[in-house]
Structure 1
Amino acid sequence: MMRTTILDIQKMKQRGERIPMVTAYDYTSAQIADRAGVPMILVGDSLGMVVLGHTSTVPVTLDEMLHHTRAAVRGTQRALVIGDLPFLTYTTTEQAIQSAGRMLQEAGAHAVKLEGGAAMAPTIARLVELGIPVMGHVGFTPQSVNQIGTRVQARNATDAAQLIEDVLELESAGAFAVVLELIPAQLAAVVAQRVRIPMIGIGAGAGCDGQVQVWHDMLGLYTDFKPRHAKPYANLAGIIEQAITTYAEEVRAGTFPGDEHSSKMSEEALQAALAQTGE
């Protein structure tokens, strides 16, 4: 079974195929996404909120990202797995090389994602030069939440022009794709038409080349916050809660486990065991 490559992803754009990407944070979720045929899985630092219970991605460490990425990679056979580089782990090119190198060597990721526009182009160019595939991320960048807040970006002409320039710089630097988060749909569509590499949207409208959704949002698992751009395709939180409630009720009532869930031994063996213990 062939692993999806960054060239496969770029060819999907060339053919006009829409590209689905989902986040996954462990072996089981990645395995399910891989079986579903999703070509790209992002082990996002959004795990800070939906897995670790933080209020933002800022507290997430590189060691935590490596831990979760390793697990997700083990669950895949076909998908391209991209590991997020967390806050303050790529402040210099040298640090980015170390962080990205660990993500590929220790966690087994096939690419990394980092946030930032034109200022990150030299770092991306160096990583690509060393053989590390890089996905960019512009628009709303969650690691900068304390500076920019959680809101739609690039709504005015100046900011929109800068975003276009940012994407062009990332493309020139060698990024194989870019995430566009929380920007106006019209702008995202224009950007996608102007570049050769795939634009993966989240809260950026239908004009992008692909979309990414957070596992817990799309499956209705995370109820603390429901972003406008997320579409729940199931309400698994309710289903899981009901299943656990039923289990707890059966334990309290003594109806679980039943004979079908238990193992047996011969009465002779039991009596012999009791005799050996003086019972």
Structure 2
Amino acid sequence: MPSTRPTVADLQSLKGKRQLSKLRVFSLEEAEAAERAGIDIISVPYDLIFDPRFRDAAPTRFAIPGDEQAKMGATTDEILRTAVKLRAASADAMYCSASLQTIRRLRDEHIPVCGHVGLIPAHATWTGGFKAVGKTAESASFVWKQVRDLEAAGAFAAEIEVVPAEMASAISRRTPLIMISMGAGAGCDAQYLFSEDVLGTHRGHYPRHAKRYRDLAAEFDRIQSERVAAFSEYAADIQSGAYPAPQHMVGVDAEELRKFEAFLESQT
């Protein structure tokens, strides 16, 4: 990747040459870590893009805000207005799982769009719930149609989620879209995971495609235990008189104290 922030054209030029890395981050600290680690693409919540400190944390990462509005049922006009604001706030593209009409509207305003095919969580009821899509020739043809529709609507990329690796690879080879795999194998153009899966920060279900590189949940548990212990010791010190000790207090000259007490006596 160049030392400056890559463009859509830069990413497109890498198709078929090397796999890109994509990570969903949730905080400035994670954005900075992604920057320092050399992650190619970061997916970010809207509020992170709008934080004026964001580009100080991740000045050269290609940033794609998530899909908060579409999940809340926003209209095409509302999504477009938000996309324009996100672009002004330094977003490099817009993730959108809304209608093809909405994607076309965004593309007409020259806003790069990353779509979604395969298992789309917000639309999972249409494909049978939270399970793989494309395990048969018929259902893989449905995914292929989704890709072609995104091409026609003007998207530049698409997440392809929980599709068999062989099917996803066959699709990726036949489309100009940058295909971003989330559980769809190594035959696409990029690999995508959430930071909470990579860092092991949650205690819920980890999807099949997730890989934990750290167990920060255990570290957070250790820190919480230390926090409780410190608070308990503090409360106990107050009860025993160990806190505050002389070194925690401001002293006063004995003569000045005598004068002040004499003054108080004169006031009663």
TM-score bracket relative to the smaller structure: 0.7 to 0.9
Unaligned runs of 5+ in 2: 238-246
| Aligned equivalent of 2:163, options 160, 183, 190 | 183
Q: Which residue of 1 aligns with 2:205?
A: 225
Q: Which residue of 1 aligns with 2:7?
A: 5
| Length-normalised TM-score, structure 2 | 0.80
Distance 2:258 2:161 in 1: 67
- Aligned pairs (5 A) from 1:1-279: 2-14=4-16, 16-43=17-44, 65-71=45-51, 73-74=54-55, 75-86=57-68, 87-89=71-73, 91-92=75-76, 94-105=77-88, 107-115=89-97, 120=100, 122-147=101-126, 148-254=128-234, 267=251
Normalising by structure 1, we get a TM-score of 0.77
Residues paired across the two proteins, number:
247
Structure 1 residues 139 and 272, CA gap change in structure 2 (3 angstroms): farther
Amino acid at match of 1:136: G
1:158-198 C-alpha deviation (Å, 9 max, x unpaired): 22112112212212332121100011111100011111232
Q: State how far apart, in whole Å, the 1-side matches of 2:255 and 2:104 are.
A: 74
* C-alpha separation in 1, matches of 2:254 and 2:191: 60
Cα displacement (A) at 1:97? 1.8
Paired-residue identity, %: 29
Please state how far the C-alpha of 1:276 moved relative to its aligned partner. Answer: 7.3
SS at the partner of 2:148?
Answer: helix
Query: Is contact 1:136–1:178 with CA below 8 Å preserved after alignment?
Result: yes
Paired residue secondary structure (1:13): coil
Show CA shifts across 1:53-89 (max 9, x none): xxxxxxxxxxxx5324324834310101111233154
Structure 1 runs (4+) greater than 6 angstroms displaced = 263-266, 269-278
Give the aligned CA root-mean-square deviation in angstroms. 3.2
Distance 1:182 1:273, change over 3 A: farther
Conservation of the 8 A alpha-carbon contact between 2:103 and 2:113: yes
For structure 1, which runs of at least 5 residues remain unmatched after alignment?
44-64, 257-262
Match of 2:242 in 1: none
Task: Report the Cα distance in structure 1 between the residues aligned to 2:198 and 2:176, rounded to whole angstroms.
Answer: 28
Counterpart AA for 1:127: L
